[in-house]
Structure 1
Amino acid sequence: MKTVILAEKPNQAKKYANALGTVKRGKGYFDIDSNIINWDVSIICGVGHLVELSSMDRYGEQYKKWNMNNLPFQPSNMLYDVSGKTRDQFVNAKKQLEEADLIIVATDPDREGENIAYSIFSMCSKIVRNTPKKRLWINSMVDKEVQRGFRNLKDSKETYNFYVEAQTRQISDYLVGMNFTQYFTLFAQSKGLSGIYSLGRVQTPCNSLIVQNDRDIKNFKEEIFYKLIGMATKYTNNDKVKFFSEKKYRTKDELASALYPFQLEAKIKTNILSVQKEIKTKKAPKLFNLGGIQSYSNKKWKYSLDKSLKIIQSLYQEGYLSYPRTDSDLITTNEGKKFYLHLV
């Protein structure tokens, strides 16, 4: 009896292998002698996406040349191809999967991880699609957490809808990009313009926001405003202290109107009779999610989003961070218990 574990990336596969037992390396896979998983165990991996949506010309000769008459492009069934750059790895993975009596999906614990796994399965034989499956769902690459995850596998049905969601997003991205890029390119060319005008579901709104922000910066006009300022002198060391009001006034008349009810039309001197002090507490900030740490890295070290993501991803793969590609700023109950034990 054979168990095949499908990881998403080579580093991830290596982490699993080292955490599970004694490792023997094969061509594109690891054989594991493990006391955590029964039966013979092999670990294979993708290199990200081994399978991708086919280009339009795979749907018929008429799509080899862009033509308005072919739009909108709405195929009843989507076609997929094995990526040319990773075909060898797909062949290795397919061979191992077709020999499996149990498949453990161990790609990243998110929608895209599910999509990568089931896209690979879809290009394999019916045997693979019908093979019983379990799901590893962990947020840390630390050995103990990996071992705990493999001892407490989920049924694959519990996370299958993540694949459905990711595939829907992937197809919508594809159809929006293919249809609108061709339409606007052909339309622009009919008006005498040249080049290709690429549009996308995410790309185009983001470009629009960048352009609008750039225009706002270029068209920005300075505005004069007024604020109230109070001056004080410390008796202890004669240091000057300034107090600023938060409210801004667009004109001096507006400022004067605000001061009139308090009879503060002119500068006055007054004494501070008492000062109250109180101790306030606030909760510690939550942990970083991906967007939060990217924003912090950009402000602190001027890192680009791409650079910070690469650093964060590498730290995750080395076991120093929990799974980074998430909006969550919380940790799991198991991780919380682990931190508590370290503290006490």
Structure 2
Amino acid sequence: MKLYIAEKPSLARAIADALPKPQKKQDGFIELANGDCVSWCIGHLLEQAEPDEYDERFKKWRFEHLPIVPEQWQLKPKPKTRKQLTVLKKLIKQATQIVHAGDPDREGQLLVDQVIDQVKLSQAKKQQIQRLLISDLNLNAVKKALNNLRSNREFIPLSVSALARSRADWLFGMNLTRAYTLAGQKAGFGNVLSVGRVQTPILGLVVNRDNEIANFTAKPFYEVLAHLKTQNQQTFTAKWQPSKACEPYQDDEGRVLHRGLAENVVSRITDQPATVSELEQKQKKQQAPLPYNLSALQIDAAKAFSMPAQSVLDICQNLYERHKLITYPRSDNRYLPKDHHREAAGIIAAIAHNNGQPNEACNKADSSKRSKCFNDSKVAAHHAIVPTVKQLRTAALNADEQKVYRLICRQYLAQFYPDYIFNETKVSVMIAGGLFKTTAKQDVSLGFKALMGKTELKDEQTLPPLEKGQQLHCYEAQLVDKMTSPPAHFTDATLLSAMTGISRYVKDSEIKKILKETDGLGTEATRAGIIELLFKRRFLKRQGKSIIATETGQALISALPLALASPDLTAKWEASLSNIAEQQMSYQQFLTPLLDELQQLVEQAKHCDSQVFAQLPKTPPKRRFKRKAKSKAKPA
């Protein structure tokens, strides 16, 4: 009997639909006419055991127990899905051939591997396990995947990497959450102070931004504009570029802080001759942006519709599992395999049929065009999020699903549009020894930009015909008074952007390099959930569209060492986990130094300044603290 194990029931149904009929629905699996079976997990069927399941003493949270490090790691069945785990274990024992059909990512690999490991299979049987990678639940796509099974052995390093991350997160999250909760309790604060490898640096980002805004002092600065005209009375404007001699009067960003200096420039250039000293004119092209991965989609949906990241992910799961209108949504990849191009015409037709984009926009797409997104070398286990060939019979999408679907369709359709072409002119003008510059851009052909809501030609500034050495006249000089402004509070879009581009917030050059090479803080599948968790744990709150830290969030970050409140630790971990997945590092080489670091961090927690928690809400009833402590001590 061949057994297919899917990660979710929806995937199991899609696999069964692509296999021979007739079929019989059994309790927890689908039986085929030839005796083969398709069964499923319901997400994670197993979870890490709690500390008190290793030792009864750990029910009571005490500093002297920390750090708690299991000698033999234990998994336990999740109570709500124990029945399905029992079904799967029985089927695994009966199967002569097993096909692993977890989602095509690190967690999907580990999730099914752990269920299989619950049954003590022979080494020979384990060696024969096959891997089925599905990123599109439509019938033809599933049939194609079924004809391209791979050996599950190829994915063992990926599974080990996920296992290392899972255990490391448990060790850090559980031990440091207990340590800082106990520190808070000493000061009379009664709630759980959750600490996690990813959630805490994200909170640190928000706290640092809030503090930067709170401590910001606005300062005036000055710009000088030269209004110029040609001999034919055609006008344009250029901005003064301060020379090196002006540096003592500028801030770090080159802004002039001394009004007298700017006034002097105004008086010197008014009603003076000017000369075009440099002229650079180029026609440039801009290619369409790549199709979406999850983070890029969440960022654009937040900008366009103010949608929280978790809502976008939930909508995508519906579009993927229920409606089958998009490919696998938890993807970190923005490229497509070359052979996916053969489906372009069918996908564009489906977009038009499903109102994913207007018919006119679909008709203008050239399905024979092959953009840079079609690149086998850039595609790993999963590819970009794109529409499928599925055509809806009715208007089955709700308003939010339609919005997200249209974004995905627009980004895909852009791959079959021409480049955006524009002329860019850079002009340098000398006036009374001072340098003034301006840049102008004129649209030549909108190309894919026509899809992005840009419906007419717009120029930054229209320049008259100019030549190098041409004589001009500065008929007016203008002093512009400005004030420095603080950075903006984070929003859903900018916080997600910060998580994916976290290297911008790191000073250490080596760690910055690591973070540039990884996917930032968290994964595509976890970022939305981590942000929501920080709201749930009342470390963050919303003020309109702004995301700010609560008093509790501020207090926790102030008590933590920089190593926990910055992304540096995550950078090191992600580099190591990638090395494990690529077989350049072993599990033990990763875990051993991590345990040494954990010991040091627990000691720091014991001696932290717990008085920062003294002004926060006092201890709630004791039984409530105990109940919460057990349920919330899990890492994020």
Shared fold (TM-score, shorter chain, > 0.5): yes
Would the aligned equivalents of 1:228 and 1:245 in 2 still touch at CA under 8 Å?
A: yes
Aligned to 1:327: 332
Q: Give 1:175 deviation, angstroms.
A: 0.7
Runs of 4+ aligned structure 1 residues displaced above 6 Å come to: 232-236, 238-241, 269-273
Structure 2 vs 1, CA of residues 43 and 228 (structure 1 numbering), >3 Å: closer, same or farther? farther
Greater relative contact order structure (CA < 8 Å, 6+ sep): 2
Q: Give 1:70 deviation, angstroms.
A: 1.4
Whole-angstrom CA distance in 2 between matches of 1:6 and 1:128:
19
Q: Give 1:12 deviation, angstroms.
A: 1.3
Q: Give 1:240 deviation, angstroms.
A: 8.3
1:268-307 paired onto structure 2 within 5 Å: 268=271, 279-307=283-311
SS at match of 2:170: helix
Whole-angstrom CA distance in 2 between matches of 1:306 and 1:240:
51
Aligned to 2:375: none
Whole-angstrom CA distance in 1 between matches of 2:230 and 2:129:
73
Aligned to 1:155: 151
Whole-angstrom CA distance in 1 between matches of 2:103 and 2:31:
21
SS at match of 2:30: strand
Would the aligned equivalents of 1:50 and 1:90 in 2 still touch at CA under 8 Å?
A: yes
Q: Give 1:21 deviation, angstroms.
A: 3.7
Aligned to 1:266: 269
Whole-angstrom CA distance in 1 between matches of 2:187 and 2:284:
66
Structure 2 vs 1, CA of residues 233 and 15 (structure 1 numbering), >3 Å: closer, same or farther? farther
Aligned to 1:169: 165
Q: Deviations over 1:150-177 (max 9, x none)?
A: 1110100111111100111000111111
Aligned to 1:54: 49
Would the aligned equivalents of 1:121 and 1:128 in 2 still touch at CA under 8 Å?
A: no
In structure 1, runs of 5+ residues without a counterpart are: 34-38
Aligned to 1:24: 24
Q: Deviations over 1:31-53 (max 9, x none)?
A: 235xxxxx532111111100000
Whole-angstrom CA distance in 2 between matches of 1:289 and 1:240:
45
Q: 1:249 aligns with which of 256, 262, 267?
A: 256
1:119-198 paired onto structure 2 within 5 Å: 119-126=114-121, 130-131=125-126, 132-198=128-194
Q: Give 1:250 deviation, angstroms.
A: 2.9
Would the aligned equivalents of 1:24 and 1:32 in 2 still touch at CA under 8 Å?
A: yes
Q: How many residues align?
A: 333
Whole-angstrom CA distance in 1 between matches of 2:164 and 2:36:
33
Whole-angstrom CA distance in 1 between matches of 2:197 and 2:124:
31
SS at match of 1:103: strand
Aligned to 1:83: 78
Aligned to 1:70: 65
Would the aligned equivalents of 1:290 and 1:325 in 2 still touch at CA under 8 Å?
A: yes
The alignment status of 1:101 with 2:96, answered yes or no, reads yes
Q: Deviations over 1:173-208 (max 9, x none)?
A: 111111111112223323444332211111211112
1:221-236 paired onto structure 2 within 5 Å: 221-231=217-227
Q: Deviations over 1:84-120 (max 9, x none)?
A: 0111121222222221111111110010001110121
Q: What residue identity is the alignment partner of 1:267?
A: T
SS at match of 2:178: helix
SS at match of 2:339: helix
Q: What residue identity is the alignment partner of 1:290?
A: L
Whole-angstrom CA distance in 1 between matches of 2:174 and 2:240:
55
Structure 2 vs 1, CA of residues 250 and 160 (structure 1 numbering), >3 Å: closer, same or farther? same
Whole-angstrom CA distance in 2 between matches of 1:208 and 1:267:
50
Whole-angstrom CA distance in 1 between matches of 2:295 and 2:320:
15
Whole-angstrom CA distance in 1 between matches of 2:341 and 2:41:
31
Structure 2 vs 1, CA of residues 225 and 70 (structure 1 numbering), >3 Å: closer, same or farther? same
SS at match of 2:269: coil
Aligned to 2:319: 315
Structure 2 vs 1, CA of residues 242 and 155 (structure 1 numbering), >3 Å: closer, same or farther? same
Q: Give 1:282 deviation, angstroms.
A: 1.8
Q: TM-score, normalised by structure 2?
A: 0.48
Whole-angstrom CA distance in 2 between matches of 1:5 and 1:128:
19
Structure 2 vs 1, CA of residues 147 and 216 (structure 1 numbering), >3 Å: closer, same or farther? same
Q: What residue identity is the alignment partner of 1:45?
A: W
Whole-angstrom CA distance in 2 between matches of 1:19 and 1:268:
79
Whole-angstrom CA distance in 2 between matches of 1:194 and 1:233:
70
Aligned to 1:12: 11
Q: Deviations over 1:302-326 (max 9, x none)?
A: 0000011111222232433232222
Would the aligned equivalents of 1:121 and 1:129 in 2 still touch at CA under 8 Å?
A: no
Q: What residue identity is the alignment partner of 2:326?
A: L
Question: Which segment is superposed worse, 126-135 or 82-91?
Answer: 126-135
Q: 2:40 aligns with which of 25, 31, 45?
A: 45
Whole-angstrom CA distance in 2 between matches of 1:48 and 1:309:
15
Question: Which segment is superposed worse, 69-78 or 168-177?
Answer: 69-78
Aligned to 2:411: none
Would the aligned equivalents of 2:97 and 2:125 in 1 still touch at CA under 8 Å?
A: no
Q: What residue identity is the alignment partner of 1:178?
A: M
Q: What residue identity is the alignment partner of 2:99?
A: I
SS at match of 1:199: coil
Whole-angstrom CA distance in 1 between matches of 2:236 and 2:37:
71
Whole-angstrom CA distance in 2 between matches of 1:134 and 1:332:
22
SS at match of 2:291: coil
Q: Deviations over 1:280-314 (max 9, x none)?
A: 22222111111111100000110000011111222
SS at match of 2:38: strand
Q: Give 1:139 deviation, angstroms.
A: 2.7
Question: Which segment is superposed worse, 140-149 or 51-60?
Answer: 140-149
Q: What residue identity is the alignment partner of 1:250?
A: L
What is the Cα-based RMSD across aligned positions, in Å?
A: 3.2
Q: Give 1:334 deviation, angstroms.
A: 2.5
Question: Which segment is superposed worse, 317-326 or 147-156?
Answer: 317-326
